[in-house]
Amino acid sequence: MSGLKRHQLTDPQKNLEDRVCSTHNKPLELFCCSERLCVCVLCVYSEHKGHEVIPLKEASELQKIQLQETEAHVQEDISRRMKKITELRGSVRASHAAADREISDGVKVFTALKESKKKDTEEQAESLIQEIEQEICELKRRKTELQQHSENYLKSEDPLHLLQNSLHLSNKSATKDWTSVAVCGPTYRGSMARTLSQLEHDFMRKPGLFLKKS
């Protein structure tokens, strides 16, 4: 029984043809770091001559680490994008507050101008938020995929099986850098006073422009 307890189960070697080099018909026992491919010993002296080649076991251990790091990076990407959404929504609230403060010092006739500026800011922020939320959905989908596969791969004792089936999971997602993205809110300070002053000037100069013709 002690011998059985020490015995460690390995992944079943399914699809044996996938474990043999299609060019040299030799077992795939090495990993080419240069081209990220599992290779046989003869490949090292032919197609992959001069490339960086390491044993499958070493490559699989490195891949396990890479999978864990990739999952952590995906979570960081999600967190940064969630934070950016909070910042964008905060910018919208600040823009609304700035508009309200400025408009309160003006007259009701400029309400339409305020709403137009607020709408522009909202549309700008909403467009960015939708794009970020799409990336978050994709990142969450990728994180789920990583979690679903990593548990099995991290426990795998079959280096070839791990590398053949998990290399694509550690590729970095093509996502946008949102660090410097922000809502460019309109400047409200003084705009109402300048507009009122211009209207007063025009009225005094050409009052007929503001009278309805009979």
Please report the DSSP string for 158-195 in residue order: -HHHHHHHHGGGGSPP-----TT----PPP-TTHHHHH
Domain tally, the chain? 1
* 121: amino acid identity, one letter: T
Query: Distance between CA 36 and CA 55 in Å, rounded?
Result: 12
User: Is residue 152 one of the residues assigned to a domain?
Assistant: yes
> Could you tell me if residue 18 is inside a domain?
no
Residue 196 covered by a domain: yes
For residue 8, pLDDT beyond 50: no
What's the chain's average pLDDT? 76
Determine the pLDDT at residue 94. 85
Helix orientation angle between 191-205 and 56-104, rounded to the nearest 10 degrees: 40
The C-alpha atoms of residue 28 and residue 203 are separated, in whole angstroms, by: 88
Give the per-residue pLDDT at 2: 42
Q: How many whole angstroms separate alpha carbon 192 and alpha carbon 200? A: 12
Residue 32 has pLDDT above 80, yes or no: yes
Q: Which residues contact 195 (CB under 8 A, 6 or more apart)?
A: 110, 113
Is 50 a domain residue? no
Tokens of 203: 């009225």
What would the pLDDT profile of 134-186 be if each residue is shown by its tens digit? 888 888 888 887 777 777 777 777 788 777 777 777 777 667 777 777 776 66
**CA neighbours closer than 13 Å in the CB half-sphere of residue 103:** 17
pTM (2 d.p.): 0.59
Q: What is the 3-state secondary structure (H, E, C) of 105-159?
A: CCCHHHHHHHHHHHHHHHHHHHHHHHHHHHHHHHHHHHHHHHHHHHHHHHHCCCH
- The pLDDT tens digits of the residues spanning 81-116 come to 999 999 899 888 888 887 777 666 655 666 666 677
State the residue range of the domain holding 132: 68-170+187-214
Instruction: Output the pLDDT for position 167.
Output: 75
